[in-house]
Structure formats: structure tokens, C-alpha cells
Amino acid sequence: MRSYSATDYLSTEICFLLEIDIGGRTYRFSSFPIVLSFGGDSVMYNGSLDNPNLSISLEEVGKIKLSQSSVSMAVIFPFSVSSRQMQGLGIDRSACRLYYVTTKNKQPEQDFDRKIALFSGVIVDPVYGYPDLDPGYVEFSIENTVTISDRSLVRRIVGDAAFLAATQFSQEAYRVGAIAPPVDPDGITEVIRPHLGKCSPVVFGSPGSIEDDLGENYGFPSTPAYQIAFQNSGSFPSWYVIAGHPVAASTVDIYDNQGNVDTDITVYQQVGSKGQVYSFLNLHSSSSLDQTFTINNDIEYWVRWDDGGGLISPYDVGSSIQGGGDLLVFLLDSVRADFDRQAFSSVRSLLNQYIFAGYVNDVEIKCFEFLQRYIVPFLPISLVAGPTGLYPVIDHRLDDTYQNPRAEIIASETFSRIQPITPGDNEIVNDLTVRFAPQGASSNDDTYRGVAVIRYEKLEGVNAQYEIVSPYAIVSFQRYGRREQSISLEYVHDRSTAIRIGLDYIRRKSLPEKTTTYRAAFSFGYLDVGDIISLSDSEISLSSHRCQIVGKRYDGASWLYDILFQEDPISEVR
């Protein structure tokens, strides 16, 4: 989103601009008639626009808001609205774009290309045909919703070859050497019956590799492998599908649920009958694994990824996609959502510090569902619908290295508080157990192999890396006593990421959030929802306090800003 400095707004007035596309024509309205330069030409906005009832709000950290509150508008079209409605040429669902420019003496301070986007959407609920008003007069709302086309995550990656079937792997024309699964005289690979119809695994990151409590690396079975074929002669080879797509790994370790493991097994790739590339292993009788699956269907096979990961990243050639930033963009692209690519690019390096890994073999899990449940809740962002689609807003509590305050503001007549301070409803947590790295193989052990604890003190006489002391947890404990909670990370195997997520969680939950509202002169119009400000207000004992704008409204004469802040005796200077 384009940003403007405070100096652009001093001693100015506002002129709202509205563009509506109907029947291949763009109708332009404005608060008052105004002309914007456009290269060597000009664009006329004809007035006839009442000030909009504008209200924009921010979703809490870890959430996605696909729509903003609607904006109420009233305009006068140069035609009879009721007549067009009766002809089937109504204005319902017509695309709208709301902008504004600053003016001095009714002259614009920006040209056509630099007008400032506020809102976009479509017309809903038009009200027209007032007896005493112009036949072109209409009142309506603009509904801003980022539309998505959600689909199965497995089908997004694997396509039509989502399920294991004989014909899926039968493609003699594409066979490379003698390593690929065998085919019978009819060119068909006979998939072992108990695995027919199972879902081809989608694997990303490097699941199954973890650092233990003492800082040592070890592995465990994590993603499924399916024996699809075998030969009852020679070296008795067997073939195992480990992913329904190409992978970055060169070798993997494979386990059975009888306690056997075979390490550093070469990963092969082959083209199937529907043109998809899948990844598989080829084992022989010399393997330590129990390969008698055909006569003992209770045997399971699981894989550890420690030599490269799964699904290859479209953003980092040769590597598996695993960073939170890359996964966000990949999944938003997968559901064909409109999003601000420049804004996401600016936070990519931060979000990619959060490493995810795991597998999906349920065709019912959809891309957006996966994003909402397993990725966004554990990143320090919220996603909000804006004029150019979804854009990320970073949590204001992060270090200044990531996001410096947009402005330093001292409360005054031009930025004055009009509401009392209201406590939020966030639950207090100062003793957090983070469970991560779920194992795949069936066993009597705990499902999660990793644990990290963030609390106000370490266990006495114990020096374990899984215990982290947070200064915010200490302050919280001193005020509220012990408030414990646990969270489970189904798609995190990296200990550093688990700790990072836990520290973020404690930072948000250890002390109460508070909100209040300020009335601001138009000179503060450059501030947007999600912006970080440094606020000083002696009446409520704030001194250069780090706050976030979570709501913005226009009441016809000034901006109203909802401000979120949290007491921070650790880093704030009083």
C-alpha cells in the first residue's frame, strides 16, 4: 500500500473520490467537482458525492479478515436508477473504488496516479426512487470482500493423482531404467490392495528431525510411506510411495512399526500415467525393514526427512517450501485470492524465520482451511482486506528492528482522547508449554516428540534447554500469579520456531491489552489501520509508548482512531 508522510496532509482539506464501473463505463463522483491531471490529459470528477460513512478495523493477531465493514454511500447518477433497474441494467454488484486526495483552496495536491486508495468492493442493497429527490439519487453500501476459490490442498499439489490406484503408476512410456515400479504384460502396476484408494502424501519442510532437550539432533518416523508393489523373485524388491510430487530430498530414513529402520535410502522420482511426478523408494531383501506387508497388513512404514525436505519451493530453487512467508503466498495463490504482493514481500524475511514441516494426506483439507488453522495463528501477523486485497499487519509488540513507529505523537488539541481506557478480553498466560514435532508411527509414546516451556522461572537445580524464562512472564506472575496453558503445533518440527512462537504467545498474553479512541485532525489522515505509533499522553501516563491503530473512522470533520496498547514495564521508558 502506498504511504504518505504527515507533511503531505498539513493545512489541507479532503476530497473523497468514488469510481463505479457499470456496463463498461466508469462513473466518477467526488465531494466537490475536481480535476486531476493524468499525464498530459486530465480526469474530471463531477461532485454529487456525500461524505462516506467509513469504518475500517483490524483483526487480532493470528486471524484473517476477508472483509471490512461496509461503507455507506450516496450519489446522484446521470440517469434514472429505477428505470435501469426495471430494464435489468441495475447497479447491484457493480465494482466500486473509494479514494481521496488532499486539497488546498479546492486544488488537488495529488495527480490521478497518486490518489490515495481507501476502500474497494461492490454495490449492495441500493435504495432509490425517493419521491422528492433526483431520479439518479441512490444510497447503497460498498461491500469489501476478498473472494477465494478454495480447493483441496492435496489436489492442488498432486492433481488428479490424489489417490493410490493401479493406473496412477502405470506408464511404461515414461519409465526410466529398472528402478521404477514394475508393470505387467498389460502395462499396469498392480498396487497392493490394502493401499488402494489411500491419499498420496503431500510433504513439506523436513519433518522427523528435531533437536532434543539437551541440544542434540535426532530423528523419528514422521510421514507415511505406502508399499505399492513388490516382486517375489530375485532380490525381492519392494516399492514405496513417499510423496505424490517431486521432493527436494536426495535420501530419507524409513521405519516400520516393528522397531526397524533403514537409513540413507535413495529417493527416486517417476512420471505416472496422468503426467504427475511422484517420489518413491526401492528396497530389497537386504533391508532391515519388515517387508511382509502383503501378508501382515498391520505393518506401517514411516519416513524421516533429514537430507533435504519435501515439496520443492517455487521461490527458492532446490529447497523445500517451509518458511511461513513463502507458505502464506503459496496458499493465497492457491485459492486465487487478491493480495498485496509488495506488502507481503516486505515481511517475507521475518515470517520465513518461522519454519513449518509436516504432511497432509486428507483430500478433504482445503488450502485456506490449512492456512487458517495451522499457519497464520502461529505467525505474528493478522491479514486484513484492503483496497488491493489482503495485506499483512505485523504485531506491534515486535522489536523495532522489524517495524519502526510510523509517527511520534503527543496528545494535544489536534490528537485528543475522547474515550476512557477499556481493558481487552485477552486471557492472561505466563506459564506456557509448547508441544511440537508430532510423530507419525503408531506407538504408546506421546504423540509429540518436542516440548518447550516458557515461564517465569526455571526448575530449581535443572539446566534444560526446553525451559525458557521470559521477563514478561515474570512481571505477569508477580501481578496475577501462575496462569498456565499449553499449545500444540502440528506442523512445527523446528525447536527454534517452537520457542519463537511460544515467546510471541507469552508476549501477547502475559499482560492485558487496552484500547481507547482519539479524535485526530485531518493532518493525521496519513495513518492507516495497522500502523505503529509512538504515543505520549500525560493524562494516562503514556510516554513514547508503542501502540497500534486498530480502527479508523471518518466523521465528516476529523478522523477517529482506535488505539491498542499494552503495559510494557520491560522495554517502555516511563
Name the grid cell of 539.
Answer: 493524562
Count of CB atoms situated within 10 Å of the CB of 181: 26
* The C-alpha cell that represents 436 in the structure block: 511440537
CA torsion angle for 79, 81, 87, 92 (degrees, to 10)? Answer: 120
Task: State residue 69's pLDDT score.
Answer: 62
For residue range 523-552, list pLDDT tens digits in order.
788 888 888 899 999 999 898 888 999 888
pLDDT under 70: residue ranges of the chain: 1-12, 62-63, 65-70, 166-178, 180, 182-193, 195, 213-214, 293-296, 399-403, 441-446, 460-466, 571-574
Q: Which residues contact 13 (CB under 8 A, 6 or more apart)?
A: 102, 103, 104, 106, 522
- The overall average pLDDT reported for the chain is 84
Predicted confidence at residue 501, as pLDDT, reads: 96
Q: What is the pLDDT of residue 510?
A: 92
- Grid cell in block for residue 149: 476459490
Helix (H, G, I), strand (E, B) or coil at 325: helix
**What's the pLDDT score for residue 355?**
96
Question: What pLDDT is stored for residue 246 in this prediction?
Answer: 92
Name the E strands within 146-199. Answer: none
Residues 6+ apart with CB under 8 A from 275: none
Query: What DSSP element (H or E) covers 152?
Result: none
Q: Which is nearest to 407 in space by CA: 562, 539, 545, 556?
A: 545
Look at residue 217 in the predicted model and tell me its pLDDT. Answer: 81
For the stretch 98-132, pLDDT in tens is: 898 888 888 898 899 988 888 888 888 899 999 98
Task: Specify the length of the chain in residues.
Answer: 574
29 closest CA partner among 10, 52, 12: 52
The predicted pLDDT at position 50 comes to 84
Closest CA relative to residue 168, chosen from 152, 191, 138 = 191
386 bridge partner residues: 389
pLDDT at 573: 45
Q: How far is CA 115 from the centre of its chain?
A: 28
DSSP 92-129: TT-EEEEEEEEEETTEESS-GGGPEEEEEEEEEEEEE-
